[in-house]
Amino acid sequence: MQILGQILEQIEGRIRAYSGPREPEGLYAPVGYIMTLGGKRIRPLLCAAGYLVDRPELEERVLDACLALELFHNFSLVHDDIMDEAPLRRGKPTVHERWNVPTAILAGDVMLIDVYEQLRMASLPGQLSAVLRCFHGVAVGVCEGQQRDMAFEQAAGVTWDAYLEMIRGKTAVLLGGSLELGGLLAGMDHDRAVLLGRLGEALGLAFQLEDDWLDAFGDPALTGKQPGGDILRGKKTALYVMSMAMAGAESRLELERWFDPGTVSEPQTRVQAVLDIFERSGSREAVAARAAGYHEEALGLLDQLDGRGPGATLIRHLVGQLKGRKH
């Protein structure tokens, strides 16, 4: 879709302009590294699309909000990779691997701090309060989700509902907030902005289910992440939680044994054994089906959204692109 390509080019231009060399280099080189390492730019694209639901074309200031969302996302990735002890991101060494953990913490911090300045610049005088309120809810939600995600590594008996609550925080609220912020900057009324947020959350739930699925069954050359990274880290992903709900008693015990850090095994053996259980239990299929269900929910909410601009069509296109994504 041509207009989507043009918006992406504008977003990339703004990211490049932000990511140039700055002093002190020790702080900003890792920021430039992660910001220009690629990535799908879904959150800024959603923000732009949210704005365009009611407006015919983008304004310069909206690109500041797009940058803010990509900055927040990359801050969360840099810190997430420390928490998850991940070696690879977008096919390259993670920031804490390439530099070190203290450098990665501070690079993440400065990106988060810059988010607020970009949001200030993006907002018209009467909009800043609503924009900050919306972003605050998102940022707190991500922290809550990330804490639940870490706690699940040690927890037994994670339910599907608890899992959903976790991913709603760590991932879905940011996709929802991206659309909603776009709407708020366009001066959209409260109810329709909230509808945009709900649509983005449904899309975000699908997005994280697919992220979990790809970590296990995707092509590492395309995902750019360590093969089987979630399994090696003992993550209670959708595949794990669904397997525990669907598998027979014997397979459940087997799965628990492979997830027990005390079980000694070659990493590859562990990954393969767990993948086999995900397959056998039907969880591989079931998680993909749940993701498809949330995509449908997002499209259903989109049907309720009228608007004068091209935004609704752009959102439909983005949802289509994300469905069954490979990275």
Interacting residue ranges for Mg ion, rule: CB under 5 A: 80, 84, 211, 215
Of 1, 10, 80, 272, the residue at the interface with ligand IPE (CB under 6 A) is: 80
Q: Give dist(CA 321, CA 317) in Å, integer.
A: 6
Tell me the two tokens of residue 316. 């439909």
Q: Which does 280 bind (CB under 5 to 8 A by kind): Mg ion, ligand IPE, none?
A: none
Angle between helices 128-154 and 160-167 (to 10 degrees): 140
Rounded Cα–Cα distance for residues 261 and 232 (Å):
9
Task: Collapse the DSSP code of 93 into the 3-class scheme (helix H, G, I; strand E, B; otherwise coil) and give the result.
Answer: strand
Q: How far apart are CA 195 and CA 296, in angstroms?
A: 15
The reply on whether position 146 binds ligand IPE by CB under 6 A is yes
Tell me which residues in 95-134 interact with ligand IPE (CB under 6 A): none
Q: Which residue has the tokens 């990339």?
A: 12
Which of 86, 95 has the CB closer to ligand IPE?
86
Q: How far is the CB of 230 from ligand IPE (least distance, A)?
A: 7
Asked if 153 is part of the footprint of ligand IPE (rule: CB under 6 A), the reply reads: no
Q: Nearer to ligand IPE by C-beta: 40 or 280? A: 40
Least distance CB 324 / ligand IPE (angstroms): 14
* Preceding amide of 87 cis, omega within 30: no
User: Tokens 């296109």 belong to which residue?
Assistant: 317
205 binds, among ligand IPE, Mg ion, none (CB under 5 to 8 A by kind): none
With CA atoms as reference, report the closest residue to 327 among 237, 227, 211. Answer: 211
The two tokens of residue 132 are 């900050």
Query: Binding partner of residue 76 among ligand IPE, Mg ion, none, CB under 5 to 8 Å per kind?
Result: ligand IPE
Crossing angle of helices 311-322 and 2-18, rounded to 10°: 80
Is 233:259 a contact under the CB 8 Å cutoff? no
SS3 at position 92: strand
Structure tokens given for 197: 């947020």
* Number of residues counted as binding ligand IPE (CB under 6 A): 17
201 binds ligand IPE (CB under 6 A): no
Determine, following the binding rule CB under 6 A, whether residue 94 of this chain makes contact with ligand IPE: no
90 binds ligand IPE (CB under 6 A): yes
317 binds, among ligand IPE, Mg ion, none (CB under 5 to 8 A by kind): none
Please tell me the distance from the alpha carbon of residue 28 to that of residue 316, in angstroms, as a whole number. Answer: 36
When the beta carbons of 76 and 123 are compared against Mg ion, the nearer one is: 76
Which lies closer to ligand IPE via its Cβ, residue 38 or residue 187? 38
Nearer to ligand IPE, 136 or 190 (CB): 136
Tokens in use for 255?
A: 């799965």
Among 15, 19, 31, 39, binds ligand IPE (CB under 6 A): 39
Q: Could you tell me the maximum CA-CA distance found in the chain, to the nearest angstrom?
A: 61
**Is the distance from CB of 147 to CB of 184 less than 8 angstroms?**
no
**Of Mg ion, ligand IPE, none, which one sits near residue 142, judging by CB under 5 to 8 A according to partner kind?**
ligand IPE
CB of 155 to ligand IPE, least distance (A): 16
Binding of ligand IPE at residue 206 (CB under 6 A)? Answer: no
Instruction: Kindly list the residues in this chain that would bind ligand IPE in the complex (CB under 6 A).
Output: 39-40, 42, 76-77, 80, 84, 86, 90, 142, 146, 170-171, 208, 211, 215, 225
